[in-house]
């Protein structure tokens, strides 16, 4: 039967492949037509070095010149010698283009459109056969009837029957206008993906999740996965919006709090005239215990001003999280100041290291 391997590339593209019981990661990749970096195939050169971000595996035999003990302890492995024992997520040290692959195009049908508030719309697609993604990732959707494409993070967990998303409804955003005025269930929808470096890693310490506006979507996907698998570590989520009307899916967060032991959350509204009991920016409501002295993995998804403010705030706390992952959101389309929000430019940081 074998195992599933999610190959994530430096440009954000992700491909899922099947690895047979007798195959290495490299064998399965090349059988799928994906040319990951490779040279000797004997564990001697280190050219196929990759990072196994989750799952169990057998590293096989190799020379220490190709992979040191320190690198192995940090989760690095040689694709030419490594055989999975479970499903894996593997970060490949190359772009998808270099590996002679690219984003995969899929076709689905619009399943439903739901108005969550005056400013937020949810929509879902029927799931294409065998489609997979990592919780927190996104797809780029072609808006029906146009040549415009918009990127949206999944708000549904990977095993859900439908693929769900949140959209900021600010006219005349191309996607939000379509959903508001023209959408008909059953309409064919084309999308490319999955993609993105902002996804849930193996949980090895407490988590602090910070969401701004429709940046809540990937966290709903992550929490849906955690509700299935569980976590022995505490998880705290802070969710901030500008106005009362922007606050959505709080009932889903409350449901997760009932299902996931150790999960807590709060919501806050910035507007001065809010009727919400908690006011102000997310950072002002994060307690020192949620930073755990730096022994915490922080996930941040929100608009650029929020991302910059949280980074500055962390610096003021003199705390460096063990891992830090973030995704910025920005208005989309030509009318950048008024389009619907979409994920842009994936930023991934491990400690004080920033890539892309």
Q: Sheet holding 323-331: strands in order across? A: 263-269, 235-241, 207-212, 297-303, 323-331, 341-350, 353-355
Q: Evaluate if pTM is beyond 0.85.
A: yes
246 contacts 213 by C-beta, under 8 angstroms: yes
Q: Which domains does the chain have, with CATH numbers?
A: 3-92 (3.10.20.30), 105-195 (2.40.30.10), 207-355 (3.40.50.80)
- Give residue 332's pLDDT: 56
DSSP 40-89: -SSSSS-TTEEEEEES-EE-----TTTS-HHHHHTTEEETTT-EESS-EE
Amino acid 102: pLDDT: 87
First to last CA, the chain: 36
Distance of CA 147 to CAs 26, 82, 189, 203, Å? Answer: 37, 42, 12, 39
Taking the chain (356 residues) in consecutive chunks of 10 residues, what is each chunk's mean pLDDT?
93 95 95 94 93 95 93 95 96 94 94 96 96 96 94 96 94 91 96 95 96 96 97 97 95 97 96 91 93 95 93 90 89 36 38 27
Contact assessment for residue 142 and residue 190, using Cβ atoms and an 8 Å cutoff: yes
The whole-number pLDDT of residue 343 equals: 42
Return the closest-CA partner of residue 82 out of 60, 55, 49: 60
Quick one: tokens of 9?
Answer: 């590339």
């Amino acid at each position: 039967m074998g195992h599933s391997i999610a190959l994530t590339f430096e440009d954000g593209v992700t491909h899922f492949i099947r690895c047979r019981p007798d195959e290495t990661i490299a064998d399965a990749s090349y059988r799928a037509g994906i040319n990951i970096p490779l040279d000797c195939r004997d564990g001697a050169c280190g050219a196929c070095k990759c990072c196994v971000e989750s799952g169990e595996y057998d590293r096989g035999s190799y020379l220490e010149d190709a992979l040191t003990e320190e690198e192995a302890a940090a989760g690095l492995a040689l694709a030419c010698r490594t055989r999975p024992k479970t499903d894996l997520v593997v970060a490949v040290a190359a772009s998808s283009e270099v590996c002679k692959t690219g984003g995969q195009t899929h076709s689905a049908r619009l399943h439903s459109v739901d108005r969550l508030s005056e400013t937020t719309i949810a929509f879902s697609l029927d799931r294409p056969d065998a489609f997979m993604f990592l919780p927190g990732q996104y797809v780029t959707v072609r808006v029906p009837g146009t040549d415009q494409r918009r990127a949206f993070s999944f708000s549904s967990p990977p095993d859900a029957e439908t693929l769900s998303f949140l959209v900021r409804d600010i006219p005349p955003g191309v996607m939000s206008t379509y959903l508001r005025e023209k959408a008909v269930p059953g309409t064919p929808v084309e999308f490319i993906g999955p993609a993105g470096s902002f996804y849930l890693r193996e949980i090895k310490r407490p988590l602090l999740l910070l969401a701004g506006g429709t940046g809540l979507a990937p966290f709903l996907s992550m929490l849906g996965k955690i509700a299935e698998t569980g976590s022995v570590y505490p998880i705290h989520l802070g969710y901030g919006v500008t106005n009362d009307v922007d606050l959505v899916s709080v009932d889903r967060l409350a449901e997760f709090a009932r299902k996931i032991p150790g999960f807590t959350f709060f919501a806050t509204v910035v507007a001065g005239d809010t009727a919400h009991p908690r006011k102000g920016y997310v950072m002002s409501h994060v307690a020192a215990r949620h930073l755990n002295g730096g022994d915490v993995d922080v996930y941040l998804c929100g608009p650029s001003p929020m991302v910059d403010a949280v980074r500055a705030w962390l610096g003021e706390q003199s705390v460096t999280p063990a891992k830090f992952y973030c995704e910025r959101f920005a208005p989309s389309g030509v009318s950048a100041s008024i389009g619907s929000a979409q994920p842009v430019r994936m930023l991934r940081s491990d400690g004080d290291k920033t890539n892309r």
